[in-house]
Structure 1
């Protein structure tokens, strides 16, 4: 027994000593150097991922993609800080540490397509600058303490890029912040107050005559003498109404000037037969006006009426709804870039030249750095320097350096390609084309600009309608292991019944129906009653439009539409369009209530509360039902027995029964439902919560956001609602 105990004690001591030896090996200089090299390579790899996939989040409403990009965005910053700390505290010498440290600093502000993860990050632009100051102090300390001197040419190239990268990112954050938005939209806001007055008697949307919407202002950089003369010649006490002046001169490109351009590239009978190039400039000018919504600036009523005439003209053309949607879609892509990327900073006057110089420094500097560093590194390496093993005569340290440098060059070239074919470049080139007569006379310039403008790029948005079906999803229960009272502090909770159905493509039928409803209901938006009046069914169904909240209206009609969809199959191919419009919009509005109520008229928490109550009702009434047939049959039976008519589920069933009892053919009911849902879609579009729409631009975009931008330009608002609805349901947890 004692021998066994000695054996066990001896075995335990042996295991402990082995573990101690392993821990000591992990703390050796070579192990620490390997750790630094691995972290530097991982950081370079993360930079490549976030550059390539950074702009994908606006094209895909994928939670997995958003989590991945957030993890890369957050982790890379901590990895840079941790790796710099390891370098600063290293007890060994390695000649290449300063190069790695400098490139980690460059990585800190490199990605052009992913400058921030959320809008809240923009307000912390000062914090970002101070982080850079602290990091660069650590790198400087590393250079001084290591006593290492790099080849001067390589050192200058590397150190010039660091401030350019960081300053550009800090500037983009500041411009996207609340103060930056107000400062940069002040001149446009003051200009638009009186812009409509100059063209009230001579307005022609077909030629854009009178539409002096600013596309681009070409600023100059005057000399100090010119600045002094202008300051002396302009009396400050003559400021006009304390407005920031913006005079329309030859250096200002407006929408009207774009349409008047006689160059072949922009002529309708020349290179712009479908007006796509001119529409790029129109979208950019409208984006400037939409930014006023985020700066608490407003436009006069006449300015909105002028914009409405423009929208009407665009819609009146053949398939005009597609053109309107294309213009708004591109406008929102500019808005996304101004918030979440560095393009607004890059494409400021003269800034793109700095970007080109920076790219040249990299393309020339990196090969030179590699060529100079290897012989210098091989000849100046101290004897006591810690390095990893060599392979083929080259040390692994140097191979890691080459890998980091080449990765960074590849990233910069990819970003350059993205920038060249971006819509921002197209706007800049087209505006320069409008202003420069020699370009309009040069076939070579026209071919070059046309090549860039017609280069195919991925679609700007997801173009899907996400769906939610109450009768299929009410019994969904999220995992209590993942979503509970403890995890609420770390992630957004998923509530009972909150699961999506398969998304539907945003079809032309849906866009046509919604835009047609917008054109006919602009004067006074109603939540569906106007469509019922047009179809002469208002006396029978209008009660379902006058419930206590818009959330209740949406779900009552949603339940009724789902019942009618299941009970009455499509028999006439001509009614398939109405069927798709009604079912897709019904499930889309239900999806907005279930997942993004901040985009709808009701208070978001009221919508969440009503949704939770409806889930409780559905689970009580449909307990034990497995199929949709059983659920509809159960609801029909319960609705005839229950006296509580204020329940949303019962109201939805009774509305569904009324739809089935209409004497007209089913195709007529699908027409009624399609027009109702299209009108309700337009009704919920106006919103004062502009920031909620801006946040969803980074989630794949929403169709309601496109409508919100459209009605914002036209100044369309919901009419005041009556104080006393027809029915005032009471919600009880019974």
Structure 2
């Protein structure tokens, strides 16, 4: 026993001794230099992550991706400050310190596709400014010290300093622009320009030619708008000539915008995944739609200000959407594609540097940045690299056993990463929707480009590149499958609530499904079906009336909250889901997928629903509690459904009992017909929840893969479509559960 205790004691002592040795080594000059080099390398790697995967987050809702990007975005700022502090306080010198410090400062604002992780980061732009000032003071102090001992390197640092100022200014302007008064003045001018439309009828043959939505304003107009109190009159003929509108884009006679499948340019745009054979849009129409998406994005920004469009402007917008897009063959595909690109602009407005680069006409400076980087790299090789191989007094360097300078290798690695980052960023910027709309608006404006084969070829090549804009998934939640879910206490407890999102009992998300054409068509058909005017959306009752079952089923739409309506119909649909139609039915897929999607919104995104989020969460929690009591001990789906059918006959008006009663009523109808009723009901209810005053909630979801309801929200917002006030709630008694 003593030998065993002695062995354990010896092992502990050895571990302590080894740890002490490691700590002492880290305190040596070589150890501190290794820490600095490691930190510089990690920061460069984090920047590479942000640039390479930053734009993916709106195309992917992966929790792991979100955690990685959050860590890279958050840690990089602290790590930069820490590393600069190590350099400044080090008791030794290294000729590459100023170069590394310069790169660290440049990294602080280098990711054009990732300027903010969340909307809260934009609100904290002053914090970024002060952080940058503090680190900049330390950087200048370090730089001034080394210039006195390395005067020949002045040219290197001047070039990198220019690059530093350009990079940090871009990010600062991007953050400040969301709060500056100029943004509101431009928004107000856009409102005035659209509101100034006359009441003349929209052309039946081509409705879009009468659309005055702004796509581009000349520099002169923008300067007037940004000047305090100098906004030009929207009705002035001079102003009209300096503004590119959607109508002008549609009226453009240039071959590029009038071509049919590349007839004039020799190019054909990539086929969109939603296109069916024989339904492909002309190339010119696709290019016009990019400009339309940008114009709609400018109007969607009104949701984040206090400016409103007049009712007549909304009426015209509805005509443009209904007759210009939705009434065309496969119009639902085109409408969804326009909304996708529109929300891409809105995402970039909040989370990237692209708006400030293109709207402030800063994109030519990207060429200057690239030149500074190339020339600076060459001068670095000439002036700095050789010096690291000549040890001097008070200079500490790391050298491998093979005689290679670790300092040189680290500098070369950082330069390679930075060059790769800049090349990737230039490519992403060149193929961005911002670049496309800039090229297309210039094409409309400059008649000399019309028929210019080289210019049309260039624009066609840029616009042909098509990246998937959003995840295009419907997230799913099945109440009867997840009500008994208990989150892991290891991951979700009192301590982890400060670091990760809280997961409640019963909150287990199902496997997302692809957003199908069937679902999009069903929802858009519900919008335009039999309505020539601005619509007041109903929560499913219109579809019940159209199918002749309103008298029997409308009670389930007249409940106290819309959360309760969703959960009651979801439970009823879940009961029927286990008795699918004998043959494959698109109505079955539409109904079940939309049912689980709206249930997902109740469970995970209540802010996107009409009810107050607290009320929705409370309703969900009560239903989970009720389900655990009612279904306790019933392990299989079949057993749970039998149990639900039995409780439908008992008294009480809880969500579970109402859902069971509705399910019993539906089960007495022919399944083929009932899935048609349910598909139309869920399509209408999905559209009903789309209008929202909580624009911020939708903007937050843009950085997490996007939501189908957000695309619908954008569409109905332009048309001024609102939901009809809910009917007065009714109390159902068991005797009312009559058959259809």
TM-score of the two chains, using structure 1 as the length reference: 0.91
Separation in structure 1 between the aligned mates of residue 71 and residue 340 of structure 2, nearest angstrom: 28
Paired residue for 2:661? 654
Displacement of 1:689: 0.5
Which of 505-514 and 482-491 deviates more? Answer: 482-491
Q: Retained in 2: the 8 A contact 1:203–1:211?
A: no
Residue correspondence of structure 1 range 165-564 to structure 2 within 5 A: 165-177=167-179, 181-194=183-196, 196-197=197-198, 200-201=200-201, 203-204=203-204, 206=206, 208-220=208-220, 248-269=239-260, 270=263, 272-273=282-283, 275-313=285-323, 314-378=325-389, 382-390=392-400, 394-455=404-465, 457-520=466-529, 522-564=534-576
Separation in structure 1 between the aligned mates of residue 362 and residue 230 of structure 2, nearest angstrom: 32
Q: Retained in 1: the 8 A contact 2:258–2:284?
A: no
Displacement of 1:187: 1.7
Paired residue for 1:131? 131
Displacement of 1:369: 2.0
Q: Retained in 2: the 8 A contact 1:204–1:210?
A: no
Q: Retained in 2: the 8 A contact 1:102–1:158?
A: yes
Cα root mean square deviation, aligned? 2.9
Compared CA separation, residues 638 and 102, structure 1 to 2 (3 A): same
Separation in structure 1 between the aligned mates of residue 603 and residue 442 of structure 2, nearest angstrom: 47
1:50 aligns with 2:55: no
Compared CA separation, residues 36 and 23, structure 1 to 2 (3 A): same
Separation in structure 1 between the aligned mates of residue 117 and residue 540 of structure 2, nearest angstrom: 38
Residue correspondence of structure 1 range 54-133 to structure 2 within 5 A: 54-133=54-133
Separation in structure 2 between the aligned mates of residue 579 and residue 179 of structure 1, nearest angstrom: 51
Query: Deviation per CA, 1:168-191, whole angstroms, max 9, x where unpaired?
Result: 101111123485642441221232
Q: Secondary structure at the match of 1:623?
A: coil
Residue correspondence of structure 1 range 612-623 to structure 2 within 5 A: 612-623=621-632
Q: Retained in 2: the 8 A contact 1:175–1:184?
A: no
Separation in structure 1 between the aligned mates of residue 6 and residue 673 of structure 2, nearest angstrom: 92
1:711 aligns with 2:716: yes
Separation in structure 1 between the aligned mates of residue 2 and residue 482 of structure 2, nearest angstrom: 66
Paired residue for 1:611? 620
Q: Secondary structure at the match of 1:583?
A: helix
Query: Deviation per CA, 1:235-260, whole angstroms, max 9, x where unpaired?
Result: 9999889x999963433211111111
Separation in structure 2 between the aligned mates of residue 298 and residue 126 of structure 1, nearest angstrom: 29
Compared CA separation, residues 237 and 683, structure 1 to 2 (3 A): closer
Which one of 588, 591, 599 corresponds to residue 597 of structure 2?
588
Q: Secondary structure at the match of 1:208?
A: helix
Displacement of 1:131: 1.1
Q: Retained in 1: the 8 A contact 2:631–2:640?
A: yes
1:702 aligns with 2:707: yes
Q: Retained in 1: the 8 A contact 2:221–2:242?
A: no
Displacement of 1:718: 1.3
Paired residue for 1:692? 697
Displacement of 1:482: 2.4
Query: Deviation per CA, 1:422-463, whole angstroms, max 9, x where unpaired?
Result: 1111111111111112211311111111111112x3210011
Q: Retained in 1: the 8 A contact 2:187–2:301?
A: yes
Compared CA separation, residues 240 and 393, structure 1 to 2 (3 A): closer
Paired residue for 1:725? 729
Q: Retained in 1: the 8 A contact 2:648–2:660?
A: yes
Displacement of 1:276: 0.4
Displacement of 1:127: 1.7
Separation in structure 1 between the aligned mates of residue 698 and residue 426 of structure 2, nearest angstrom: 29
Separation in structure 2 between the aligned mates of residue 702 and residue 204 of structure 1, nearest angstrom: 33
Q: Retained in 2: the 8 A contact 1:205–1:309?
A: no
Separation in structure 1 between the aligned mates of residue 299 and residue 236 of structure 2, nearest angstrom: 16
Query: Deviation per CA, 1:519-571, whole angstroms, max 9, x where unpaired?
Result: 1365221111111111111111011010111011101111111111213x212
Compared CA separation, residues 14 and 693, structure 1 to 2 (3 A): closer
Displacement of 1:492: 2.2
Which of 382-391 and 76-85 deviates more? Answer: 382-391
Displacement of 1:204: 4.8
Q: Retained in 2: the 8 A contact 1:123–1:174?
A: no
Query: Deviation per CA, 1:290-313, whole angstroms, max 9, x where unpaired?
Result: 111111211000000101001112
Q: Secondary structure at the match of 1:502?
A: coil
Aligned length: 707
Q: Secondary structure at the match of 2:377?
A: helix
Displacement of 1:714: 0.4
Compared CA separation, residues 262 and 11, structure 1 to 2 (3 A): closer
Displacement of 1:210: 2.0
Q: Retained in 2: the 8 A contact 1:186–1:244?
A: no
Displacement of 1:384: 3.1
Q: Retained in 2: the 8 A contact 1:250–1:435?
A: no
Displacement of 1:660: 1.1
Displacement of 1:510: 0.7
Displacement of 1:366: 1.5
Compared CA separation, residues 391 and 529, structure 1 to 2 (3 A): same
Residue correspondence of structure 1 range 35-46 to structure 2 within 5 A: 35-46=35-46
Query: Deviation per CA, 1:112-152, whole angstroms, max 9, x where unpaired?
Result: 11000011111121221121111111011222344443522
1:680 aligns with 2:689: no
Q: Retained in 2: the 8 A contact 1:548–1:728?
A: no
Q: Retained in 1: the 8 A contact 2:194–2:212?
A: no
Q: Retained in 1: the 8 A contact 2:232–2:239?
A: no
Which one of 643, 646, 655 corresponds to residue 651 of structure 2?
643
Q: Secondary structure at the match of 2:359?
A: coil
Compared CA separation, residues 247 and 302, structure 1 to 2 (3 A): farther
Q: Retained in 1: the 8 A contact 2:559–2:730?
A: yes
Displacement of 1:163: 1.1
Q: Secondary structure at the match of 1:352?
A: coil
Query: Deviation per CA, 1:609-666, whole angstroms, max 9, x where unpaired?
Result: 00000001111111011110010011112322x222x11111111101101113xx32
Separation in structure 2 between the aligned mates of residue 282 and residue 592 of structure 1, nearest angstrom: 29
Compared CA separation, residues 11 and 531, structure 1 to 2 (3 A): closer
Q: Retained in 1: the 8 A contact 2:544–2:554?
A: yes
Compared CA separation, residues 217 and 44, structure 1 to 2 (3 A): same
Displacement of 1:490: 3.2
Separation in structure 2 between the aligned mates of residue 238 and residue 405 of structure 1, nearest angstrom: 46
Compared CA separation, residues 441 and 630, structure 1 to 2 (3 A): same
Paired residue for 1:732? none
Compared CA separation, residues 587 and 16, structure 1 to 2 (3 A): closer
